[in-house]
Structure 1
Amino acid sequence: MIRVLLVDDQQLIRAGLRMLLDAEAGMEVIGEAGDGRTAVTMAAQLVPDVVVMDLRMPGVDGITATSRIMAERPATRVLVLTTFGDDDHLYPALQAGACGFLLKDAPPTELVNGIRQAAAGESPFSQEVLRRLVSRAVHARPETPPRVEGLTTREQDVLGLVAEGLTNTEIADRLHIGVTTVKTHITALMAKTNSPNRVRLALVAHRS
């Protein structure tokens, strides 16, 4: 069971998210917080697997709350869900320790999958956000691309789709293979490219 803490200053948003997640098998909303200060307290008390975190809130904002939660419980997965996908919000959130970044206009299935991915140790990003992260990194580090050797044909296929920002489920559908198989390929790709996370793996794909 994935235990989820919802953090958003709008009660209507929280109610909608709770209805969505409560309908999902293997997922339980264990609490709601309307501001960052309450979120930090509840995260310590309830020990959620995933915190779905808004960024703009009165008092303690989502970035500060994320930083405090990660300082107290580094194993907690904080998934940002926000209206604001600009760099002024994206990079501070990641620096604070957020594992992923989704936009509120994303389809409901993307949020549900994102929470499952976050709980599994992955880093879910909206495609738009992932492309911008990779683009910025490419332009910031124009040195000679790393050599990627020893990849199978299927690993090359998976690597190319990771670079496009596709999720594991989308990659599986595109290649007509199982999600577990995709995860196995991505684990192998991370090892072969010395990539600690999905963003770095996408960057390697673009630069190679």
Structure 2
Amino acid sequence: MSVVRILVVDDHEVVRAGLRTVLEDADDLSVVGEAATAEQAVARARMLRPDLVLMDVRLGEVGEVGDAGGIEACRAIRSDLPETRVLMFSSYGEREAVVASILAGAAGYVTKNVARAQLLEALRAIARGESLLDPKVTGLLLEKLKELSAKERPPDDPLSPREREVLALIARGLTNRQIAEALGISEHTARNHVTSILDKLGLSRRTEAAVYAVRLGLISEE
């Protein structure tokens, strides 16, 4: 069994210690390092080359949410180490922080009140190459996407009815496994649908697909 190597980044030592205990209870997860600041996070990521970074958003910085140290560290790590994936982890679920994290290259965003089992599954999903948003913050992201997206329906929609169903679930932050469960199909089939959707639309990221879903009107305005 392949073990996922994780760098834990949080400016509170007690939080890092707690996360290490939780993660190392899992046979398939291993904490290979810790960092308390954005600068340390980038330096240790370059040195350790972890599979995944669990990154606090704020890291003690004061200022605009979008300028939080964790987000800047995420951007630097993703630029230097594109194979290393980042899961943002925060006490806060502000819309701007969620959007800034995704734009910085994070593969997901969960809040710190997430259950232990959900955190472990989120890390495994990210390690498998999936993208993930805590349901608590998905709505915040969609609100921002609605602001950024064009109001009109894009012309010449190339997607099949099934692909449109999958696209709507992608936009709600579901993983391939969750999409498969929701539609009663295999995870392999769900993954193929996602790949086909991105290829047909000329997109590379699920967040870009979410914008398209909003423009198609697949996401409720509620």
CA distance in 2, matches of 1:172, 1:109: 20
Percent of residue pairs identical: 34
Closer/same/farther in 2, CA of residues 13 and 75 from structure 1, 3 Å limit: same
Closer/same/farther in 2, CA of residues 195 and 129 from structure 1, 3 Å limit: farther
Structure 1 segments unaligned to the other structure (5+ residues): none
Do the aligned residues in 2 keep the contact of 1:99 with 1:122 (CA within 8 Å)? Answer: yes
Q: Root-mean-square deviation (CA), in Å?
A: 2.4
Deviation string, structure 1 residues 70-106 (Cα, Å, up to 9, x no partner): 3432332121101122134233333433232221122
Choose from 65, 78, 103 the match for 2:111. Answer: 103
Q: Which amino acid aligns with 1:77?
A: R
Show the counterpart of 2:52. 50
Structure 2 segments unaligned to the other structure (5+ residues): 62-67, 217-222
Show the counterpart of 2:181. 173
Residue 139 of structure 2 is aligned to residue 131 of structure 1: yes
Which secondary structure state, in structure 2, belongs to the residue aligned with residue 188 of structure 1? helix
What is the CA-CA distance between 1:49 and the residue it aligns to? 0.9
User: Which TM-score applies when normalising by structure 1?
Assistant: 0.85
What is the CA-CA distance between 1:187 and the residue it aligns to? 1.0
User: Which TM-score applies when normalising by structure 2?
Assistant: 0.80
What is the CA-CA distance between 1:193 and the residue it aligns to? 2.4
Closer/same/farther in 2, CA of residues 141 and 203 from structure 1, 3 Å limit: closer
Residue 95 of structure 2 is aligned to residue 87 of structure 1: yes
CA distance in 2, matches of 1:95, 1:163: 15
Superposed counterparts of 1:68-87, under 5 Å: 68-87=76-95
Show the counterpart of 1:6. 8
CA distance in 1, matches of 2:205, 2:50: 22
- What is the aligned residue count? 207
Show the counterpart of 2:169. 161
Closer/same/farther in 2, CA of residues 189 and 92 from structure 1, 3 Å limit: closer
What is the CA-CA distance between 1:43 and the residue it aligns to? 0.9
CA distance in 2, matches of 1:196, 1:44: 25
Superposed counterparts of 1:52-67, under 5 Å: 52-58=54-60, 61-67=69-75
